[in-house]
């Protein structure tokens, strides 16, 4: 199902913009936001900053805790996230979903599934506290949106962590995306476009995640 950039819910545009900013800055390419569902107001945003060296007061950067969701939580200027919805381009990891439960997030919306955490809900169901607090979840998004959201982290993993278990699992689960990621890692034209940054909507509308057709 084709979905154009201008048809996206505003909350999704925010998190995809954050993901693209993250990717262009040399990170995993994941974005997140906390949203008030009653008004649609974006309350806090965050992007993956694991490779950032510049320290921003109040945010997390330069280590593997600097996930997009964790930075959205860090930017929140209230005691907890009760009543808020978490939007993220990639299904939250163990750390991020644990924090979401600790902060009483009501609902998680994710653009792409993360196969590395398949079956994690079964873990939470085994303890009364996490079973009671785990938020409802909606995702993944259809078509190119899910593919693009999953592609950016795969590209980062191929560049920086080749051969690790996450890469091997991604290749088995998403062989077409992995092939595209291999091309993009070595594609000078893509690197130049990403460096200039013509706007994320170009990449969504032109489906850069699609396999290149053979001549």
Distance between CA atoms of residues 179 and 184, nearest Å: 9
Is the confidence at residue 193, as pLDDT, over 70? no
Q: Tens digit of pLDDT for each residue in 142-152?
A: 888 898 899 99
Mean pLDDT in residue range 1-23: 85
Mean pLDDT in residue range 170-194: 79
Is the confidence at residue 166, as pLDDT, over 60? yes
Mean pLDDT in residue range 186-199: 61
Is the confidence at residue 110, as pLDDT, over 50? yes
Asked if 34 and 72 touch (Cβ cutoff 8 Å), the reply is yes
Distance between CA atoms of residues 180 and 71, nearest Å: 29
pTM for this predicted structure? 0.89
CA angle, 68 then 155 then 123, to 5°: 50
Q: What b/e sequence results for 11-33 when a residue is b if at least 16 CB atoms lie within 10 Å of its CB, and e otherwise?
A: bbbbbbbbbbbbbeeebbbbbbb
Q: Tens digit of pLDDT for each residue in 55-94?
A: 889 999 999 999 999 999 999 999 999 999 999 999 999 9
Pairing assessment for the beta strands 31-35 and 85-90 based on DSSP bridges: antiparallel
Q: Tens digit of pLDDT for each residue in 43-52?
A: 999 999 999 9
């Amino acid at each position: 199902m084709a979905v154009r950039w201008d048809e996206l819910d505003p909350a999704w545009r925010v998190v995809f913009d954050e993901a693209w900013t993250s990717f262009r800055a040399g990170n995993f390419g994941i974005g997140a936001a906390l949203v008030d569902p009653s008004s649609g107001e974006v309350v806090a945003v965050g992007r993956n900053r694991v490779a950032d060296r510049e320290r921003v007061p109040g945010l997390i950067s330069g280590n593997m805790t600097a996930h997009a969701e964790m930075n959205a939580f860090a930017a929140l200027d209230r005691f907890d996230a009760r009543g808020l919805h978490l939007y993220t381009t990639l299904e939250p990891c163990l750390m991020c979903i644990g924090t979401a439960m600790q902060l009483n997030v009501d609902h998680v919306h994710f653009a792409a599934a993360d196969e590395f955490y398949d079956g994690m809900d079964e873990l939470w169901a085994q303890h009364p506290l996490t079973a009671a607090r785990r938020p409802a979840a909606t995702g993944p998004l259809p078509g190119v949106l899910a593919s693009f959201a999953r592609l950016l982290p795969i590209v980062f993993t191929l560049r920086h962590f080749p051969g690790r278990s996450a890469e091997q699992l991604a290749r088995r689960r998403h062989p077409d995306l992995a092939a595209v990621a291999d091309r993009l890692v070595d594609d000078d034209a893509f690197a130049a476009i990403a460096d200039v940054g013509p706007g994320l909507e170009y990449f969504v509308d032109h489906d850069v995640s699609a396999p290149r057709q053979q001549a």
